[in-house]
Chains A and B, each alone.
Chain A
């Protein structure tokens, strides 16, 4: 199945892109997606980044489904 990964701010800079398309096995969880991204990139993401799936904060143990939008969220700094 394919999921779309969105990267922002410092994470987009360090990975050199703001979005990726990831191919994952059925039943994959957020942590599997993170492992795949880390394996592809020389720049490591932090050990426990904030995650959102389909625009809602999620946990690394949450299951993913085909077509999901997985966002890796740097420390927020609004206001």
Chain B
């Protein structure tokens, strides 16, 4: 456990982890993780399946306690679920019959946690719907929309409460490159305009390569953090995995060869 002296260094940081360790039973997810994310920064969390990326977002949201170490979000330990954090969950395609329209989905981001009957107010949701370019289909049943359209509405739901922190779990999965680029553009414009701290969990750095400030790479219980150019190198990742990994840069794409093997 870290002493309280670390809290002074976490003032003015959006997220601060000190010696953060998470275990499920005997299974170690990651260990002694130190991380500082400054407000308005864009953090990208990379790593193979099962390396605890989504789990880390749940720690940021206060939904999972650390096994050891400390975490502060906006200078405080996170509560259980956060009304001030926006969260875009791993994409599930909505059922076509789901009795909810796009704007109702966004409205839940405003008042979904409060008691009462659902009421959708245009004045509360329209700005967010327009910001993600979803105005043309916000009145359609969400289940009838394409994956990219559904994803924009989820992002609008996450942004509508003007969160200080936006957490996106694989927001680009199942989208083609053009749609990925647009989604990243929408989120980054919001970040620049409002100073929102943005965290992506993703498999691939390429779609977010232009917006990332810091990369956290987790694998096999270990981690490396820093600017993309220093973390995503053959040497760093080979050290991290304990086996040879090739990092190739081809025409703006970063290809990591060998990740996930021997894991």
A, B from the same assembly: no
Question: Interface on B for A, CB 8 Å cutoff?
Answer: none
